[in-house]
Structure 1
């Protein structure tokens, strides 16, 4: 976690139901609002058609690439919004997060996440989309 972004799970509130915190405190500074990242390779083609695990990995790779280009990393993320196209993917999403997040974050505290199940994404081949808000580093 960066010195500018603090994840908080207040006492006397219901606990988070997964690998996320209930809120984020962002100290003064500019914010990046990162559009939803999809499972698209550098060639513009869908990566992992029909394979949730492959799409999950590509989505977070793409998100990491965007963060890197502006001098940030996952420790600067203040909030995620995640969109899945089927409730059957929720358990797999949670498993993938448990496996990936310890390598992305400096601590075991993670940014808040809102998880939504939607009818579809921009193309039917996409199974997951993740958008984020990140704080600019000083």
Structure 2
């Protein structure tokens, strides 16, 4: 697996609450554009529902990375953009619901969360982008 090491504990820094400080990789990387809560027809999913929007955005992200033969264990870093950081636990809960079956006891990828004044559509509450280490057996896309 190209995502080789998840650095979670360092002298002089507090432990991470479920994510890695850094992840080392080998091989090719994919930089996945931010995904939001839209369905296949482009309609917003989960208006005013952060959990539903997070689930849909992660589903869309997973759809993109699966084209490369990648899965959640190949995600090196997430960057989250949210309108309101006070409900970050909802994002964490949905993230864990979706990633735990693949990651098991591994820490989540490195992660950054940024509160923003707005996203590209007025109904969006969250957007997530990722850096993904492409598995060696993946074909060119």
How high is the TM-score relative to the length of structure 2? Answer: 0.87
Are residues 1:66 and 2:40 paired? Answer: no
Whole-angstrom CA distance in 2 between matches of 1:46 and 1:104? 27
Give 2:5's aligned residue: 6
Q: Report the Cα offset of residue 90 of structure 1.
A: 1.5
Q: Report the Cα offset of residue 16 of structure 1.
A: 4.2
Deviates more, 1:45-54 or 1:83-92: 83-92
Give 1:114's aligned residue: 112
Whole-angstrom CA distance in 2 between matches of 1:71 and 1:98? 21
> Which segments of 5 or more consecutive residues in structure 1 lack a partner in the other structure?
none
Question: Deviations for 1:8-41, whole angstroms, at most 9, x for unmatched residues?
Answer: 12430423442210001112x1110000010010
Give 4+ residue runs of structure 1 displaced > 4 Å after superposition.
Answer: none
Deviates more, 1:102-111 or 1:47-56: 102-111
Match of 1:49 among 33, 47, 50: 47
Question: Deviations for 1:87-117, whole angstroms, at most 9, x for unmatched residues?
Answer: 2321222232343331242443211000111
- Count of paired positions: 136
Residues 72 and 99 in structure 2, CA contact (< 8 A), matched pair in contact too: no
The alignment's C-alpha RMSD in Å is 1.6
Deviates more, 1:67-76 or 1:3-12: 3-12
Residues 18 and 94 in structure 1, CA contact (< 8 A), matched pair in contact too: no
SS of equivalent residue, structure 1 residue 61: helix
Question: Deviations for 1:113-132, whole angstroms, at most 9, x for unmatched residues?
Answer: 00111101000100010000
Whole-angstrom CA distance in 2 between matches of 1:16 and 1:124? 36
How high is the TM-score relative to the length of structure 1? Answer: 0.89
Deviates more, 1:33-42 or 1:88-97: 88-97
Distance change >3 Å, CA 18–CA 44, structure 1 → 2: same
